[in-house]
Amino acid sequence: MHRSVPLLGQGQIERLPARAREVVEYRKSGLSLNHIQGCPLDCAYCIRHTYGLWDQREPRALMSDAEAVETLVRHRYFRAGTTPIQLFNRATEPFLPAVKPHTFAVLEDLDARGLTNHVLVITRYQLRPEDCERLDHLRHLKVTLLFTYSGIEDRRIEPYPSEVAAASLQLATGVQPRRYRTIFYWRPLVPGLNDTDEHLARGADLSQHADATVFTGLFYRHEIAAYYQDRGLPEPYPATARRKVLPEMLERRVLDTLGGRSQLFRKTSCAVSYVHGLPDYNGHHGVRELCDICPVAQIRRCHSAHQIPTAAQLMALADTVPDAADLQILSIDDRAAVVAGLPHEQPRYFLQHALGFQIHDTHHPHRTHRHGRADIGWKEPTAS
3-state secondary structure (DSSP) of residue 151: coil
What is the distance between the alpha carbons of residues 83 and 22, in angstroms, rounded to a whole number? 18
Verify that 83 and 232 share a domain, yes or no.
Answer: yes
Assign 383 a pLDDT band (cuts: 50, 70, 90).
very low
For strand 36-37 and strand 359-361, is the pairing parallel, antiparallel, or unpaired? unpaired
Verify that 254 and 327 share a domain, yes or no.
Answer: no
What average pLDDT does the structure give for the chain?
94
For strand 118-123 and strand 337-340, is the pairing parallel, antiparallel, or unpaired? unpaired
**Which pLDDT tens digit goes with each residue over 328-377?**
999 999 999 999 999 999 999 999 999 999 999 998 888 787 777 888 99
Total domain count for the chain?
2
What is the distance between the alpha carbons of residues 117 and 110, in angstroms, rounded to a whole number? 9
Bridge partner residues of 118 (DSSP): 142
What is the distance between the alpha carbons of residues 375 and 230, in angstroms, rounded to a whole number? 25
Verify that 310 and 171 share a domain, yes or no.
Answer: no
DSSP secondary structure, 169-189, as one string: HHHHHHSSS-SSEEEEEE---
Verify that 329 and 257 share a domain, yes or no.
Answer: no
- Considering all CA atoms of the chain, what is the largest pairwise distance in Å, rounded to the nearest integer? 57
Classify burial at 79, counting beta carbons within 10 Å of its beta carbon; exposed 0-12, middle 13-18, buried 19 or more: middle
Mean per-residue pLDDT for 310-334? 96
**Which pLDDT tens digit goes with each residue over 252-282?**
999 999 977 779 999 999 999 999 999 999 9
Verify that 324 and 209 share a domain, yes or no.
Answer: no
Contact 110, 117 (CB under 8 A): yes
**Which pLDDT tens digit goes with each residue over 86-104?**
999 999 999 999 999 999 9
**Which pLDDT tens digit goes with each residue over 48-71?**
999 999 999 999 999 999 999 999
Percent of the chain scoring above 90 in pLDDT: 89
Bridge partner residues of 306 (DSSP): none
| CATH, residue 187 | 3.20.20.70
Nearest CA among 284, 258, 263, 289 for reference residue 378? 289
Verify that 236 and 336 share a domain, yes or no.
Answer: no
Assign 380 a pLDDT band (cuts: 50, 70, 90).
low
More confident of the two residues 384 and 40: 40
For strand 30-33 and strand 85-87, is the pairing parallel, antiparallel, or unpaired? parallel
Give me the domain span that covers residue 310. Answer: 306-384
Bridge partner residues of 119 (DSSP): 85, 143
Residues in CB range of 353: below 8 A, 6 or more apart: 30, 82, 83, 84, 281, 282
Nearest CA among 125, 45, 123 for reference residue 86? 123
Contact 180, 144 (CB under 8 A): yes
Bridge partner residues of 332 (DSSP): 337
User: What is the Cα 18 distance to its own chain's centre?
Assistant: 22
Q: Is 59 domain-assigned? A: yes
Cα-atom radius of gyration of the chain, to the nearest Å? 20
Q: Of 261, 296, 314, which one is at a domain's C-terminal end?
A: 261
Q: Is 343 domain-assigned? A: yes
What is the distance between the alpha carbons of residues 49 and 222, in angstroms, rounded to a whole number? 9
Q: Is 187 domain-assigned? A: yes
Verify that 194 and 79 share a domain, yes or no.
Answer: yes
Q: Is 364 domain-assigned? A: yes
- Long-range contacts for 152-158 (Cβ within 8 Å, ≥24 apart)? 152/190, 152/193, 152/194, 153/194, 154/193, 154/234, 156/44, 156/231, 156/233, 157/43, 157/44, 157/45, 157/193, 157/233, 158/43, 158/44
Mean per-residue pLDDT for 159-163? 97
Q: Is 330 domain-assigned? A: yes
Bridge partner residues of 7 (DSSP): 61
Contact 340, 330 (CB under 8 A): yes
Verify that 178 and 246 share a domain, yes or no.
Answer: yes
**Which pLDDT tens digit goes with each residue over 203-249?**
999 999 999 999 999 999 999 999 999 999 999 999 999 899 999 99
Q: Is 298 domain-assigned? A: no
